Structure formats: C-alpha cells, structure tokens
Amino acid sequence: MGGESFNVMPSAEKNIIIIGAGLSGLSAAHELSKRHVPFLLLEAQQQIGGRLKTELVGGFKLNNGFQVLQTAYPEARRLLEFDRLQLNYFAPGAIVRVQGKFYRISDPLRRPGDLWQTLRAPIGSLSDRFRIMRLAGNVRKTSVSTIFSSPDMATIDYLRSEGFSEKMIHRFFRPFFAGVSLDPDIAASSRVFRYIYHVFAEGDVAIPNDGMQAIAQQISEDLPQERIRTGARVASIADREVVLVDGERLEARTIIIATEGPETFRLLGLDAPVASRGEWCLYFSAKTPPISDPFLILNGEGSGWVNSVTVPSVVAPSYAPAGRHLVSVVVVGYLHENQATIEKRVRRELSDWFGTEVAKWDLIQTQRITHALPDQPPPMPDPMNRAARVKPGIYVCGEYQSVPGIQWALLSGYQAAQQIIEDIDRSAV
C-alpha cells in the first residue's frame, strides 16, 4: 500500500467528497492526502472530531462521555504521535465496589504489589482469579485475525464456557463490559470482548492532556486546511451530487459517508435503523477527589444506576483548575428518564459510596448521549475485511458497521480510502 501517489488519474475522478470529520472521515482524508488524491471534507459542526470532542467549562476539560485511548490500537500507533498528545495513564486494573466496600483489582503481571488486594476481593472464587490471569495471558498472545475468526457467541455464554462463576460474571465482568461496551447484559459478541481484553492486556489506557478532541485535531493538522469545511451540513446526496442544507450543490464523482449510523442510513435513503447504546455522563467539581489513584471505579453491587466513576483530574491534572477535581460518572441506559431524575438518583447513590462530601460537589454538566456506541451482537464479522463500497461512487465508513472503538473508526476510514484508490487505479488502466 505504501505512500506512493498515482501518476495517472482521470480529472473526472478528482471530486471526492467526504461527509463527516469524525475519526473515520479524518482517517480517510489522511490516506487520500498521503496519496495525493484530492478531496473535500465536510463537517456539519463548527469543529472537527465528531464524538471525540472536548469542551472547556470554567477551567474543566469535559470529554463527550467516558472516552479513553488504548495505546495498543495499531491504527492509533500508525497515525498518531503519542508524545505530542502528552498522554496521561490510568492504572492497569479497576476498583470494584462490592458489599459497600471498595476493592482494587489489578493485573498481577503489571502491578504485582496489588496481588493481595486482588486475591481478597469478594468478586469470585480463587479459581476465578486464576481464570482471569489465564484469560489475560491467552488473549495477549492471540492475534486479532484469530480472535475474529474464532466461534462467536454472547459474551456471557463465553464466560460461562470458560468456567467463570456467576458471582465473578456479575460482580466484575458485568460492570466492566457495561463501562466499555455499554452492555450491562453482557450479550455482545465474545469476539469483541476478547479483542477488548486483548488491547487492555497489550497496552495502556490513557487520555490526552488537552482532552480527547486532541486526537482528531492532531490528524487534521496533517491535512490541507483548504480542503476542510466546517459548518457544512449535508441535506441529501444524489447521483454524483451532495446538497447542503443551505441549498449549495457540490459535484462529486465519489462520496464517502463517514457519519454516525443513523445519519448514514438517512443519507442513503434507507429505513433500516442502526441499533445503538446510549449513556448519561455527569461531570462534578469536587474540592477533594473520592479516590487518589488513577483507577476506574466499577459498580459490582448488582444494583443501582451508576455504572462507573473516574476522576480525570487525578489521571491528568490539566483537566481541572487549581484547587478543584473533576469527577466523571457514567450511567448506562436509562435514556427515557429526564435529566432531573438522573441527577437526583446519581447524587443519592454517590452519597452512599463516598459519604457526605458528595453534597458539596458542584454539578458542571449532564450529557445525554443517545448514540454512544453501536450495538455489537454476535456473530461479529471480521473488521479487517470490510467492503466500503455500497454502490458505484458511494462508500461508507464508521465504527457502527464494524467493532466499536477508536481503532476501528480509524481503520474503516483507511479501508474506504484504499478501496477508492484501488478503484481509481483500475479505471485509469
């Protein structure tokens, strides 16, 4: 594939329009730019990044929901300069709340000092602990292609087949998977679960110093800025034409739709919905953090609306102004509830977790994210072999048609660009 450019390309094929400047659209644009293929990138919002956006509120950096970067993602390693992002790292493992107490669960190979706490946590049997270590070892040495060619089933069935107890499944894996895949039923593809565990075992979990939007910003900096238009919302696409909401019509021999699933289906004129999962994310300002270590806190109680809590400012001090801390709380689902109910319920549960200090926390923002992640039922097809062309001249990309996550958003954009380049090359012969 390489970085060579094409010497022969019909001028009629040069009008490539990419709709959507999220990670998929940016990745497609990056590959086209690297190969010297002209394009125009349209973004409906005033800023690039799609769901990877960071808002500055009163000195706090608020990401769009709970978002992290896995450093083991191959596409992230290929496209990004981690040093420029100034990454801040979570500790490998999690703190799980069970029976009213908090227990640290860590990878014993990476944090051997936490072994005793890990062993004494009432989340499962001693055999479950050994099975976790075996699982981490197995997925660490298993290739991605092998994972996605293996038999697929609901993750809860896979965990049972591996011998994990119901206590372990519901006290640890349920909140873990709900936090990562927004799937509290643990019904998503076991291939997805094994891949997630693979990248957790292979790399680190991090957030950029300037927020998650910095990832998209870094990719966009390598693009010709004159080929990026923000505030350009697309009303419809027709035969070789893109129509904006203001009535402007743009000729396009080739179109890449790199929007969220529901918007992609709308533009294609299809009624088939894209199943997705949503979440609430509440941000609080606290004088003192509820934890002082950079861990994710999971709800292993088997009850309650709060799924997870993090303190981004403990991981990255730049996320909060001096003298304050930023607390992030995730509620999976409950999108039918109103905002006031969510806020009241979260405060009540957190008061049970952390005591009377919670009453002193100031609510900064409540985010209701309807389409946070696509649904991931089995069987999950191999994302390494995905056809981007849906009809002549029209290509699609995005994690909704693949595996959720930054890796697959980036890869799907790359795949779309590569298929276009191959099609152009064939037409020029």
Q: What is the pLDDT of residue 10?
A: 38
Do both 227 and 265 map to the same domain?
yes
Structural domain range at position 169: 119-201
- Report the range of poorest mean pLDDT among 24-28, 374-378, 399-403: 399-403
E strand spans, 44-119:
54-57, 60-63, 69-70, 87-89, 93-98, 101-106
CA torsion angle for 85, 375, 408, 109 (degrees, to 10)?
70
Of 173, 201, 229, which marks where a domain is finished? 201
Residue recorded with tokens 């590569």: 418
Q: Over the chain, what is the mean pLDDT?
A: 90
Do both 261 and 331 map to the same domain?
no
Q: What is the pLDDT of residue 111?
A: 66
Do both 196 and 225 map to the same domain?
no
Q: What is the CATH number of the domain that holds 260?
A: 3.50.50.60
Q: Are strands 362-374 and 276-286 parallel, antiparallel or unpaired?
A: antiparallel
- Report the range of poorest mean pLDDT among 71-75, 103-107, 129-133, 186-190: 103-107
pLDDT at 11 over 50: no
Q: Is 269 left (phi over 0), alpha (psi -120 to 50) or beta?
A: left
Do both 261 and 351 map to the same domain?
no
Please state the rounded mean pLDDT for residues 274-291. Answer: 93
Taking the C-alpha atoms of residue 298 and residue 94, their distance in angstroms, rounded to an integer, is 7
pLDDT at 13 over 80: no
Residues 6+ apart with CB under 8 A from 175: 96, 184, 298, 299, 300, 307, 308
Share of the chain above pLDDT 70, in %: 93
Do both 43 and 64 map to the same domain?
no
| Cβ contact 18:401 at 8 Å | no
Do both 397 and 369 map to the same domain?
no
Q: What is the pLDDT of residue 272?
A: 66
Helices (H) and strands (E) in the chain, counts: 15, 21
- The 10s digit of each residue's pLDDT in 74-113 is 999 999 999 999 999 999 889 999 999 999 887 766 666 6
Do both 283 and 356 map to the same domain?
yes
Of 179, 201, 223, which marks where a domain is finished? 201
Taking the C-alpha atoms of residue 179 and residue 72, their distance in angstroms, rounded to an integer, is 19
- Residue 221 lies inside a defined structural domain of this protein: yes
Q: What is the pLDDT of residue 407?
A: 94
| Omega of the bond leading into 122 within 30 degrees of 0 (cis) | no
Of 32, 22, 24, 10, the C-alpha closest to 417 is 32
- Report the range of poorest mean pLDDT among 213-227, 263-277, 312-326, 386-400: 263-277
| Cβ contact 80:269 at 8 Å | no
Winning range, highest mean pLDDT, from 1-15, 111-125, 238-252, 324-338: 324-338
pTM confidence score: 0.91
pLDDT at 414 over 90: yes
Winning range, highest mean pLDDT, from 108-112, 198-202, 399-403: 198-202
pLDDT at 3 over 60: no
Residues 6+ apart with CB under 8 A from 234: 19, 42, 44, 242, 243, 244, 245, 267
Do both 271 and 389 map to the same domain?
yes
Please state the rounded mean pLDDT for residues 345-356. Answer: 98
Q: pLDDT: is 324 or 137 the higher one? A: 324
- Residue 259 lies inside a defined structural domain of this protein: yes
pLDDT at 115 over 70: no
Of 201, 224, 245, which marks where a domain is finished? 201
Taking the C-alpha atoms of residue 416 and residue 423, their distance in angstroms, rounded to an integer, is 11
Taking the C-alpha atoms of residue 217 and residue 399, their distance in angstroms, rounded to an integer, is 19
Please state the rounded mean pLDDT for residues 168-190. Answer: 91
Do both 39 and 62 map to the same domain?
no
Do both 392 and 327 map to the same domain?
no
Share of the chain above pLDDT 90, in %: 73
Do both 123 and 176 map to the same domain?
yes
Taking the C-alpha atoms of residue 343 and residue 371, their distance in angstroms, rounded to an integer, is 20
